[in-house]
Amino acid sequence: MQRPVKIESVAKSGETSLWALTQIDRVVAEQPDVVLIELYANDAALQRFVSLAQSRQDIGDILDQLRQRLPQARIIVMAMNPFSGLRGLIRPFVGSYISAHRAEAEKRGLEFVDHRPNWQRLTPGDLAAAIPDGAHPLPDIAAEIIVPELVKHIAGGNCNE
């Protein structure tokens, strides 16, 4: 079955899970069928001062509120791309933040998609070219890596690419 897809982004560059907690009404107002969440990256940056415990509590609160207020929506928590260079150095514990967010999703029976293995299939040179600043992938390459995985995950075997 083919249906149009509308994508709304409720995101703000550089923000943390603390900010995301203030945006739940905006998400709910859209009445989405699917909610994609990735909040660990900025929480894990040392200069943001969001502890692992606070990040875990925040994502748990966000997931609980979304489940309560959008019971029909699929909520998918994600891990995106690896970090390198300075942007990697300021996130020395990023793996712990990802693990905490995964655990909070799984504790609630929600889905978790980890895109990092698909990025790791690139050669080191291609990976560096795809993520030149060490944190933000080039949009075209991100689409090539992330979109097929999300389509497969969301549609399962019910989608012809």
pLDDT of residue 7: 85
Regarding pTM above 0.85, the answer is: yes
Provide the pLDDT confidence category of residue 160 given band limits of 50, 70 and 90.
low
For the cut 80, the answer to whether the pLDDT of residue 12 exceeds it is yes
**DSSP single-letter state for residue 80:** -
CB-CB contact of 19 with 41 (8 Å): no
Q: Determine the residue type at 116.
A: R
Characterize the bridge pairing of strands 111-114 and 74-79. parallel
Residue whose C-alpha is closest to residue 39's, from 102, 93, 85? 102
pLDDT of residue 159: 57
For 136-145, write each residue's pLDDT tens digit.
999 999 999 9
Q: Determine the residue type at 18.
A: L
pLDDT of residue 94: 96
Give CA–CA dist 153/157, Å, rounded: 9
For 60-89, write each residue's pLDDT tens digit.
999 999 999 999 999 999 999 999 999 999
Q: How far is CA 16 from CA 28, 51, 107, 111, 115, in A?
A: 19, 11, 22, 21, 20
Q: What is the mean pLDDT of the chain?
A: 93
Please classify residue 5 by burial: count the beta carbons closer than 10 Å to its beta carbon, then call 0-12 exposed, 13-18 middle and 19+ buried. Answer: exposed
For the cut 60, the answer to whether the pLDDT of residue 161 exceeds it is no
* Domain 17-156 CATH (choose: 3.90.1170.50, 3.40.50.1110, 3.10.450.50, 3.20.20.80): 3.40.50.1110
For 38-50, write each residue's pLDDT tens digit.
999 999 999 999 9
CB-CB contact of 134 with 83 (8 Å): yes
Measured from the Cβ of residue 40, the count of other Cβ atoms closer than 10 Å reads: 29
Q: Determine the residue type at 150.
A: L
Residue whose C-alpha is closest to residue 89's, from 133, 39, 40, 45? 45
For 90-104, write each residue's pLDDT tens digit.
999 999 999 999 999
Counting residues of the chain whose pLDDT is more than 90, the rounded percentage is 86
